[in-house]
Amino acid sequence: MLSGKEQLKAMRTDQYETKDFEIYTHNDRAEMLAYIPQNAAIVLDVGCALGSFGQRLKAERATEVWGVEINEYAASIASKVLDRVFCEAFDETLSLPQNKFDCIIFNDVLEHFVDPYSALLYAKKLLKKDGKIVVSIPNVRYFDNIWNLLIKKDWQYTEQGILDRTHLRFFTRKSMVRTLETLGYSVNQVQGIGLLEIAHPHRFNKFRFLNFIFFNQIEDMRYLQFAIVASL
């Protein structure tokens, strides 16, 4: 009989086996490179997929990049381009050295965890004293998502995006910052990425009008994701 952890890993692996990991080959998340500290010599990429982001980081800065990836197929490919890859769940049972990493990256990963809070606490043990975490998190308050909920009265899971069917947790800008601060991190930078006017220009005028009448109180709904940098 499988343990709880084994059941979780089997469930998550089965979910990801049906996703097309090849799409990540051309999605190296280049926009997230700007948030990695320039002096980061060794980096851990949690949920590294095929290793495309780490490969680009290594090419541009000669950084040592380790990866953690639960999907065996993706991990096997990532292991060819990164310095070291662990095909395991990211939790306390993983044999990673403490106080080792200058930076730990969670590029659209935390929303896939059953317990992202424990993962963030574990990350604190792996960081050097002056280390940082870099998080890209989908914004559940994204205008297109809220439009579908309020106007179309729908909450439909999809293969990709904010309502990706493998997402287990949902965050706003405010809730993600609160989560990090509650867990003992200092949030250094928060920036919106993925503009509504580029992805859905036909809805941007509606957003702009509503944001005006609400005195810019819904400005955060303009962004598909938020990039966050935090330190110990």
For 53-103, what is each residue's pLDDT tens digit? Answer: 999 999 999 899 999 999 999 999 999 999 999 999 999 999 899 999 999
Residue for token pair 């990256």:
105
Q: In what order do the strands lie in the sheet with 42-46?
A: 84-86, 64-68, 42-46, 101-107, 127-138, 223-231, 186-195
pLDDT for 4 beyond 90: no
Give the model's pLDDT for residue 15: 52
Structure tokens at 97: 């050295």
Residue for token pair 């069917």:
165
Give the model's pLDDT for residue 169: 97
Strand partners, 230: 133, 187
pLDDT for 26 beyond 60: no
- Burial status of residue 18 (CB atoms within 10 A of its CB: 0-12, 13-18, 19 or more): exposed
Q: Are 82 and 54 in contact (CB under 8 A)?
A: yes
**Per-residue pLDDT tens digits for 151-173:** 999 999 999 899 999 999 999 99
**Could you tell me the domains of the chain?**
4-139+160-195+224-231 (3.40.50.150)
